[in-house]
């Protein structure tokens, strides 16, 4: 009976840790933050994740900020 109880406690602890990591991963992906936190865990399950994160960082650095809505665009030549 004690062996079954030890097995159940161990299984419950492993399930709890995996559940917390799953919850944290979904929260991080939704917010788009914390790639450094989840990086090692993601690389365990998805070895190409490092390359994917590097490509995402390059794409984010290439994005151009959008102009404000409703604002007038000034010509580049300096004329009003």
> What count of other Cβ atoms lies within 10 Å of the Cβ of residue 42?
20
C-alpha distances out from residue 30 to 9, 16, 24, 27, Å: 32, 21, 10, 5
The predicted structure's pLDDT at residue 62: 79
The whole-model pTM stands at 0.43
For the chain, what are the domain ranges? 35-60
- Mean per-residue pLDDT, 13-38: 82
Q: What per-residue string of b and e applies to 62-79 under the rule 16 or more CB within 10 Å gives b?
A: eeeeeeeeeeeeeeeeee
Whether the per-residue pLDDT at 3 is higher than 80: the answer is: yes
State the pLDDT confidence band at 37, using cuts at 50, 70 and 90.
low
Higher pLDDT, 37 or 52: 52
* pLDDT, the chain, mean: 78
Torsion angle in degrees (nearest 10) through CA of 48, 54, 58, 59:
40
């Amino acid at each position: 009976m004690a062996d079954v109880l030890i097995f159940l406690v161990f299984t419950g602890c492993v399930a709890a840790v995996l559940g917390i990591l799953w919850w944290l991963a979904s929260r991080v992906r939704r917010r788009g933050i914390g790639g450094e936190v989840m990086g090692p865990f993601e690389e365990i399950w998805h070895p190409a994740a490092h390359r994917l994160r590097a490509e995402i960082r390059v794409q984010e650095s290439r994005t151009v900020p959008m102009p404000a809505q409703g604002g007038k665009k000034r010509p580049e030549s300096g004329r009003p």
